[in-house]
Amino acid sequence: MTNYPVTITIAPQAEPRNRLTTALRPILAIPHAILAGPVYCSSRTGGAGLLGAAAYAMAIVSWFTLLIMGVQFRGIRDFSMYYLRWRTRALAYMALFVDPYPPFGDEPYPATIEVRDPAQPRDSATIAVRLLLVLPHLVVLCVLLLAWLITTVIAWFAILFTRSYPPSLYRFGIGVMRWGLRVEAYLLLLVDDYPPFTLD
């Protein structure tokens, strides 16, 4: 969906894939999982890690400032974007979409996210009920994340044996990742446009 204000881009990974880093991926990804959250989890913040926990706490502050003053503090928005950029890189690595190890900080990486600033003034009506509005997405994502977990395990074995990520599983996985990150940007009050129900 090209008009949606959240864009996730993952550069295609050259073949053949790296068997060694793929085999060790569950271990190598641990530091990033602690900071930016694992791919699959069931905690209240969606398993967003230490950075995500801080970003979601700041989103509560933004919820009040947006409703009372109509503004989101730039520092909070910048930190939320820093978290989402880190999370995008970490998820792409953990989900086997890319092989390079993610940087600890903001550095170039083959997985990126861009979020356009929302129109002003902000939509206070949807902000007030944001948690209720996002519930249908959370229900659908629970099912999609379970399917993504299964397809990622299949892809892990496929890469180990064939050094290739099955294209259909790759497209599905990236679609679920995009969907989840759009919902996170919406929950963090970075955008007001309702996320689409699509893997595109």
Taking residues 125-134, what's their average pLDDT? 96
Q: What percent of the chain has pLDDT over 70?
A: 94
Residue ranges of the alpha helices (H) in 37-73?
49-68
Taking residues 34-59, what's their average pLDDT? 78
Q: Does residue 46 carry a pLDDT above 60?
A: no
pLDDT tens digits, 51-97: 999 999 999 999 999 999 999 999 999 999 999 999 999 999 999 99
Q: What is the pTM of this model?
A: 0.92
Residue 15: predicted pLDDT: 85
Q: Does residue 43 carry a pLDDT above 70?
A: no
Residue 47: predicted pLDDT: 64
Residue 14: predicted pLDDT: 84
Q: Do 84 and 188 contact (CB within 8 A), yes or no?
A: yes
Least confident segment among 33-37, 38-42, 111-115, 148-152: 38-42
Taking residues 23-37, what's their average pLDDT? 95
Distance CA 26, CA 191 (A): 32
